[in-house]
Amino acid sequence: MNRFKQQFYAARKGEKPLGLTKERLEEMAAVDVRTVDISTLTDLRDIEIDTSLPVPKKLDAFARQANNVYVNRIGDYVVKVRFQENGAGIDEKMAEYLQRLSEIHI
């Protein structure tokens, strides 16, 4: 499991590595992207993170700047992320997605 997922799962178990309680994380995750007021969401383009920091500090910087660590926006688009404990990582999923796109256009 990557560090990003570990930090979020640790927080879900009641620890507060990101300064967030399990209850607050559950509340954030429960936001419905179909009904959320987009004006309440943080635009991911406005978040600034020092890439030289270690991963836990980057996660903390993100959590401090985002109103919701699961649901944000990019311009007029609502973006919701979720994490799974098992399964393919982001690299594998991106490769799978790009493969599907290339098959569509052939």
Question: What is the per-residue pLDDT across 4-18, written as a single tens digit (0 to 9) for each?
Answer: 556 655 554 545 556
Taking the domains of the chain in order of start, what are their residue ranges?
3-104
Residue-level pLDDT at 81: 86
SS3 14: coil
Residue-level pLDDT at 1: 46
The distance of Cα 106 from the centroid of its chain, to the nearest Å, equals 32
pLDDT over threshold 90, residue 34: yes
Nearest CA among 71, 1, 2, 81 for reference residue 38: 71
Nearest CA among 40, 103, 93, 87 for reference residue 68: 40
CA–CA dist 62, 44 (Å, integer): 9
